[in-house]
């Protein structure tokens, strides 16, 4: 994954208007609308309670719910002629041929029935009169009611059109990612051959996707099934998206950036192709030419539609991650640790433990790596760590928190496999997995450290730490105020279901404070120390400082964060959508059916599943992989006697191991995006010049793999061998 500004193969003024104005503001509008929808139900529920408190009258039995619509005058006759109605009913009964069979009602019985109907009519009129008088007596009730019903209409409209909202967001953000060549790939295109191969595969992949969604739409039309407006809109948006991406890539194929280097190698060029384009090409060729199933890709893309709420929350989390980059909050909290002058390994362990919380609240490891990878990298580097070690820490910074509440990935798992696991069960056991991985990381880092321990005297560190706590106070208050508003104002706690909505509001408040009053609370900045002590690092710092300078001002910070979010939303969600298609290909090809139903031993099954899941994690993203695992692999695991909670803990750790392991190593790709290609190159050069050891030369790859593989083996076998949670009482 790479920065768009370096590889924009220009559409001139059109590209500028799209990137700088239309896409940013359109996605911002959709994100705000998603927030309104998310909070709409909470606010509406509180308005109903407020209406009851203000306008309800228990003494007269009048409730606000009775008054949400203007009372309608009853259509019955309030003062009828009872005798005439009785005679009329008796005459009607006499003409009824079935009266003899059921028995003829007496005059008294008919009169009683007529009187009962008249009583009901009188009650309706009495309620109508009382409601009218009550409304007239409360002058503000109608205004309050109009506001409450209007908000409900907006919320309901958004909820009913959640799918279209998601697809519009995907269309705009994916087009933006394609215009800027911002899709996730193993390496950034640099040479002319890189760009040609990149765009050629993009044309092929998007062309196949276009053909698939058109085939699916035509198949529905030919079936004669009535298509409602929403469904038709979904098909039109898919068609618009992939036709647009095909056209964009076709134009870019003939408009190579002027910065492209001459020549290139075809092998490296294919590494520059976006992962989703490879998936689109592979699944398209397989479905269309080998399975005679041209609508296959389109059908499996529909799985994203089924979980539109999850993906909208993911978009909010991505936005929250980008908003986080516009705050000083990471620097403010890290400043508390700086006076202790901790050894890199000790500092890193504390950072990773602390980073687990925002990782859990931003939905997945990749989002946090994008948002905070550069900050963590420079902090660990400043502590005296090797560049390779700092990069390893950045790549792992989002790994520990995926098993903690309220991670969106676990919510998806609990939805897909609700018969066997709940989110509470997974979160409770994930807590132990988190601490296990943290301890393993600290032990491995300490064993391989060049300097085992380093710490300042408390006499020196404590005063500096206490001074660093002062700038933290406003941020803690902002967080507490937002949580209190939801808890007491809307009767809602911050949990895995409400976090996607609450977190952006929290960060918006923090950004507003930073831009208005943040400079009045200076912190022990890392930049000045680095520039004075390590001149060779100043290039990275000047670039970081330049970015921070550009983001000043509340409005510009929101715009910058949203603009960054657009590319990430497009790149990540389209990759997830195609991962679902890959899962569909594997499922339809019945590859999983080749797995033996019974492997003969739970131990053998556990080891086999761990390696299989790790390989899946190496090649795809977490959300798409979970769809495949829940549908195809989980049933095999259960049949072989693996406890469902144990299985999903293995899945999560295996995925995290896969995300730091080649050939794809998604977290490393996102780290490169966060810190920049120049830092990656500098780290590799530094390792070659200073170290002859194979480990230290490739530490950024080896260290995360060692830690997470060790964690994977322990999570895989310890619960069974020692029956830690009473999962296997009869083993």
Q: With bands split at pLDDT 50, 70 and 90, how would you rate the model's confidence at 365?
A: low
546 and 146 Cβ atoms separated by less than 8 Å: no
User: Which stretch of 276-280, 446-450, 628-632 has the lowest confidence by average pLDDT?
Assistant: 446-450
pLDDT by residue (tens digit) across 373-391? 888 898 888 888 889 999 9
pLDDT by residue (tens digit) across 391-405? 999 999 888 888 888
Q: With bands split at pLDDT 50, 70 and 90, how would you rate the model's confidence at 726?
A: confident
Mean of all residue pLDDT scores within the chain: 84
Backbone torsion region of residue 191, taken as left when φ is above 0, otherwise alpha when ψ lies between -120 and 50, otherwise beta: beta
User: Which stretch of 23-37, 156-170, 529-543, 596-610 has the lowest confidence by average pLDDT?
Assistant: 529-543
Radius of gyration of the chain (CA): 31
The closest alpha carbon to 275, from 265, 283, 286, belongs to 283
490 versus 544: the higher-pLDDT residue is 490
DSSP one-letter string for 485-554: IIIIIS----STTTHHHHHHHHHHHHHHHHHHHGGGS----HHHHHHHH-GGGHHHHHHHHHHHHHT-SH
Backbone torsion region of residue 260, taken as left when φ is above 0, otherwise alpha when ψ lies between -120 and 50, otherwise beta: beta
In the predicted structure, residue 532 carries a pLDDT above the cut 70? no
Distance from C-alpha of 649 to C-alpha of 715, rounded to nearest angstrom: 7
pLDDT by residue (tens digit) across 56-88? 888 777 888 888 888 888 888 888 888 888 888
Kindly state the average pLDDT of the residues 475-484: 95
Kindly state the average pLDDT of the residues 408-418: 89
Distance from C-alpha of 319 to C-alpha of 30, rounded to nearest angstrom: 11
Tell me which range, 189-198, 324-333, 669-678, is most confidently predicted by mean pLDDT. Answer: 189-198
pLDDT by residue (tens digit) across 16-61? 778 777 899 999 999 998 888 888 778 888 888 888 888 888 877 7
Kindly state the average pLDDT of the residues 288-296: 92
DSSP 588: H
Report the residue count for the chain: 731
Kindly state the average pLDDT of the residues 282-306: 90
Distance from C-alpha of 363 to C-alpha of 408, rounded to nearest angstrom: 5
In the predicted structure, residue 140 carries a pLDDT above the cut 70? yes
In the predicted structure, residue 722 carries a pLDDT above the cut 70? yes
- pTM value is 0.81
Q: With bands split at pLDDT 50, 70 and 90, how would you rate the model's confidence at 699?
A: very high
pLDDT by residue (tens digit) across 453-474? 788 889 989 999 999 999 999 9
Residue 360 tokens read as: 């859990």
The structural domains of the chain, with segments of one domain joined by +, span 14-76+107-160, 163-306, 317-722
pLDDT above 90 as % of the chain: 33
Predicted local distance difference test score (pLDDT) of residue 302: 83
Kindly state the average pLDDT of the residues 401-423: 89
Predicted local distance difference test score (pLDDT) of residue 654: 95
Q: With bands split at pLDDT 50, 70 and 90, how would you rate the model's confidence at 692?
A: confident
Q: Which residues contact 585 (CB under 8 A, 6 or more apart)?
A: 282, 283, 286, 287, 296, 300
The closest alpha carbon to 518, from 483, 562, 463, 475, belongs to 475
Distance from C-alpha of 417 to C-alpha of 401, rounded to nearest angstrom: 21
């Amino acid at each position: 994954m790479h920065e768009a500004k370096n590889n924009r193969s220009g559409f001139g003024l059109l590209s500028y208007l799209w990137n700088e104005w239309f896409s940013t503001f359109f996605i911002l509008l959709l994100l705000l609308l998603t927030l309104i929808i998310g909070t709409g139900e909470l606010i509406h529920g509180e308005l109903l309670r407020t209406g009851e408190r203000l306008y309800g009258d228990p003494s007269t039995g009048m409730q606000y719910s009775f008054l949400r619509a203007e009372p309608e005058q009853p259509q019955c006759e309030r003062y009828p002629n009872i005798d005439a109605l009785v005679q009329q009913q008796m005459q009607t009964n006499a003409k009824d041929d079935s009266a003899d069979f059921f028995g003829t009602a007496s005059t008294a019985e008919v009169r009683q029935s007529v009187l009962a109907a008249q009583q009901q009519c009188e009650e309706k009129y009495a309620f109508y009169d009382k409601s009218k008088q009550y409304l007239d007596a409360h002058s503000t009730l109608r205004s309050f009611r109009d506001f409450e019903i209007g908000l409900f209409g907006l919320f309901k409209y958004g909820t009913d059109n959640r799918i279209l909202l998601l697809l519009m967001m995907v269309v705009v953000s994916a087009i933006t990612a394609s215009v800027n060549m911002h899709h996730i790939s193993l390496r950034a295109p640099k040479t002319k051959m890189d760009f040609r191969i990149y765009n050629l595969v993009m044309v092929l992949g998007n062309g196949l996707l276009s053909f698939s969604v058109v085939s699916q739409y035509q198949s529905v039309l030919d079936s004669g099934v009535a298509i409602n407006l929403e469904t038709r809109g979904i098909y039109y948006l898919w068609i618009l998206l992939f036709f647009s991406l095909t056209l964009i890539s076709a134009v870019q194929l003939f408009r190579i950036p002027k910065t492209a280097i001459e020549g290139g190698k075809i092998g490296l060029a294919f590494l520059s192709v976006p992962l989703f384009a490879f998936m689109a090409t592979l699944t398209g060729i397989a479905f269309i030419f080998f399975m005679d199933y041209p609508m296959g890709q389109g059908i499996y893309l529909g799985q994203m539609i089924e979980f539109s709420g999850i993906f909208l929350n993911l978009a909010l989390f991505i936005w929250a991650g980008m908003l986080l980059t516009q705050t000083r909050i990471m620097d403010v909290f890290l400043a508390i640790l700086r006076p202790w002058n901790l050894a890199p390994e000790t500092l890193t362990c504390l950072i990773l433990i602390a980073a687990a919380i925002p990782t859990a609240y931003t939905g997945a490891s990749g989002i946090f790596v994008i948002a905070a990878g550069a900050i963590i990298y420079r902090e660990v580097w400043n502590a005296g760590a090797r560049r390779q070690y700092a990069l390893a820490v950045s790549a792992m910074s989002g790994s520990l928190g995926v098993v903690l509440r309220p991670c969106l990935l676990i919510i998806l798992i609990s939805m897909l496999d609700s018969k066997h696991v709940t989110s509470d069960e997974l979160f409770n056991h994930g807590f132990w997995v988190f601490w296990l991985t943290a301890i393993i990381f600290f032990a491995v880092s300490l064993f391989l450290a060049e300097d085992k321990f380093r710490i300042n005297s408390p006499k020196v560190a404590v005063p500096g730490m206490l001074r660093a706590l002062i700038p933290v106070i406003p941020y803690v208050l902002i967080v507490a105020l937002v949580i209190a508003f939801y808890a007491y104002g809307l009767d809602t706690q911050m949990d895995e279901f409400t976090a996607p909505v609450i977190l952006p509001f929290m960060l918006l408040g923090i950004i507003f404070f930073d831009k208005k009053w943040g400079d009045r609370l200076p912190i022990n900045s890392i930049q000045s120390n680095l520039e004075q002590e390590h001149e060779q690092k100043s290039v990275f710092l000047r670039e970081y400082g330049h970015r921070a300078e550009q983001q000043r001002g509340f409005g510009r910070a929101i715009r910058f964060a949203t603009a960054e979010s657009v590319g990430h939303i497009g790149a990540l969600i389209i990759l997830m959508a195609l991962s679902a298609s890959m899962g569909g290909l594997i499922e339809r090809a019945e590859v999983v059916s080749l797995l033996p139903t019974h492997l003969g031993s739970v131990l053998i099954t556990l080891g086999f599943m761990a390696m299989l899941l790790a390989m899946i994690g190496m090649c795809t993203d977490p959300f798409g992989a979970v769809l495949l695992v829940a549908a195809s692999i989980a049933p095999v695991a259960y049949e072989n006697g693996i406890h469902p909670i144990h299985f999903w803990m293995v899945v999560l750790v295996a995925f995290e191991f896969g995300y730091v392991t080649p050939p794809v190593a998604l977290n490393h790709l996102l780290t490169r995006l966060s810190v920049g290609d120049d830092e990656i190159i500098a780290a590799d050069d530094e390792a070659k010049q200073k170290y002859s050891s194979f480990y230290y030369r490739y530490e950024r790859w080896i260290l995360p793999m060692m830690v997470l593989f060790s964690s994977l083996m322990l999570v895989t076998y310890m619960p069974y061998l020692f029956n830690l949670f009473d999962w296997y009482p009869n083993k």
